[in-house]
Amino acid sequence: MHASPTFGVLAHDVAHLLGGAMLVLSFVLLYQRRLTAMIHVYALQSLVLAAAAAWQGWAQGATPLYLVALIALAAKGIAIPIALRRILDRANIRREIETALGIFPSIILGLALVALAILVVPPGALRESLAFALSVVLLGMLTMIARRNALAQVIGFLSLENGLILAAVGIEGMPLVAELSIAVLVLLACVVCGVCFFRIRERFDSLDVSHLDRAGEAHR
């Protein structure tokens, strides 16, 4: 860890800037109504996450965080968005997304969740960083709830996981195995979701999850 007070201030400022950028991209993700745009925003958010992990690796003098940054860049910033685009193209589904909530109510609720995140995080040196991370997690959950499309819900889940990793890399001494475990679980979840997407698409000719509710009612 660098001992210079000036560097300490710079380290916190850059970390807050990157955390704030991820939070803004979470709102952009919540605002989007097209699947292609959501995939692109998620990829950009993951690239910012990779930059945040690399910066924390340098600021903390923690070499393992460079590996986290590399995984975030390769898997979350490149591989997963490419896989999502291929699923989108192969499934031949509508790009427009139906929302359970309107865009404006979703944004207002998102702002309320950010305020809640700020209130619940206890005071301390890491308060701002943890507030950013928790806000990204909550907005990811809101994105999942506010979208009826299964692929859009998965993107919301992936954004939520970005917030968890942002929190992990901001805490000095966080075990690398915890961060890698999160990444592996997300990759496995994406594989399972990809299989489910095609089964839903074959059965209902759509990824709108409301069809699952109607099918369940029809079998009662």
Q: In total, how many domains does the chain have? A: 1
Report the predicted TM-score, pTM, of the whole model to 2 decimal places: 0.80
What's the number of CA atoms in the CB half-sphere (13 Å) around residue 182? Answer: 22
CA distance 3 to 11: 11
Alpha helices in the chain (DSSP H): 5-31, 35-60, 64-71, 80-91, 103-120, 127-146, 150-169, 176-204, 210-218
Tell me which residue range forms the domain holding 196: 5-218
Q: Note the pLDDT tens digit of each residue in 49-83.
A: 999 999 998 888 888 888 888 888 988 899 889 98
- Model pLDDT for residues 7-57, shown as the tens digit of each residue: 567 778 888 999 999 999 999 998 888 889 999 999 999 999 999 999 998
15 contacts 52 by C-beta, under 8 angstroms: yes
